[in-house]
Amino acid sequence: MINRKEKKRSLSQSRQRTTRIAAAVFLSPVIIIMLVYIVYPIISTFEISLYDWNGISANRAFVGTSNWKVLLNDRNFWAAFKNNVILVICSILIQIPLGILLATFLDAGGRKFNFFKVVWFLPLLMSSVAIGFLFSYALATTGGIVTTISQALGGGKVDLLGRAPQALYAVIGVIAWQYTPFYMVYFMAGYSSIGTEIYEATIIDGATRGQYFRYVALPLLLPVVRTACILSLIGSLKYFDLIYVMTGGGPGTATELMATYMYKLSFSHFKMGYGSTVAAGMFILVTGIALTIQNLLKKRGELV
């Protein structure tokens, strides 16, 4: 009797052990790559942030927390952070409503509107770099699209990228051009998860399409909108490629973002020590903001 019980326990134990070993083997490649390319570099960035180092020479001087003190008072960094925040707000206010409108239109029209869908989708296939170059010519003062249209309507040349306040908004417009289709596709997925039965039931009950949208679809889409906002928030805080190519952060620091600032410091001015401090600061801000917002939404029970 006792013998049998023991045998049973050891059998389940040995089964657990094989599961554990198998899990470890299957997970190890992913864990190793993430340790090498994500975890170790993050730790290393924090370490380099304590040095004065040009990235090339073998000797680097330990300067303690002085880089961090500089960062706290670095006007350029906080100006860049402010631009990131403006980008977050504008992206959420422009891209998500536009995405909902476009998806609603496509949802109402069905297959008939395939042409619209295909064209609207196109920007998503282009790399940020290509978009950046395309628009640096398309928004140029001579021979650009906006200037051409303005001249055709009797206006003058339009200088969008050359001066401080409008340059940032011009770039934000281009980013909206790039990412609106993403949210369109995203909300199309949301609509398809609502299903046609609910729509049919609403219409049979005598509702118009507008009422269906306002009282049925929109509340059901709300969780999708919230996740879209989080995606947009995180994406905008990390944003880099397009601005780096289009304006390089200029004119002055008008379109500088945290990532472009860090990149220029490290790889153009070869201040890798301080560049790492900026990168680490950016990491703290981005993960801090992302975690806070996610927790807030979770506490209110609105995010699963």
Partner 1 sequence: MDKYKKEKLKSRASWTAAFFFAFIWLLVTGLPFVFMVLNSFKGQFEMLKKGVFQLPDSWYPENYIHVMKKGFTQYFFNSVILLAISLALLLFISACASYPLSRMQFKLRKPIYALIIACMSIPIHVTLIPVFKMSTKLKIYDTLWGLVGPNVAFAIPVSCFILTTFMQTIPREVEESAEIDGCGKFRNFFEIILPLSKTGLSTLAIYNGVAIWNEFSFANTLTQSKKSQTLPLAISAFQGEHSMNIPVIMAVLVLTVLPMIIMFIILQDKLVKGIMAGAVKG
Residues 265, 39: Cα–Cα separation, whole Å: 23
Nearest approach, Cβ of residue 292 and partner 1 (Å): 12
Is the peptide bond between 29 and the residue preceding it cis, with omega within 30 degrees of 0? no
Give the shortest CB-185-to-partner 1 separation in angstroms: 5
Q: How far is the CB of 120 from partner 1 (least distance, A)?
A: 6
CA–CA separation, 256 and 247 (whole Å): 9
Looking at beta carbons only, is 168 or 282 nearer to partner 1? 282
The residue among 161, 129, 115 whose CA lies nearest residue 142 is 161
Query: Using CA atoms, how far apart are residues 287 and 238, in angstroms rounded to an integer?
Result: 10
Q: How far is the CB of 2 from partner 1 (least distance, A)?
A: 28
Instruction: Please give the full DSSP string across 5-58, using - where no structure is assigned.
Output: HHHHHHHHHHHHHHHHHHHHHHHHHHHHHHIIIIIHHHHHHHHHTTEE--SSSS
Tokens 């401090």 correspond to 277
Q: Which one, of 222, 216, 233, 214, lies nearest residue 187 by Cα?
A: 222
Q: Which is nearer to partner 1, 151 or 164 (CB)?
A: 151
CB of 106 to partner 1, least distance (A): 9
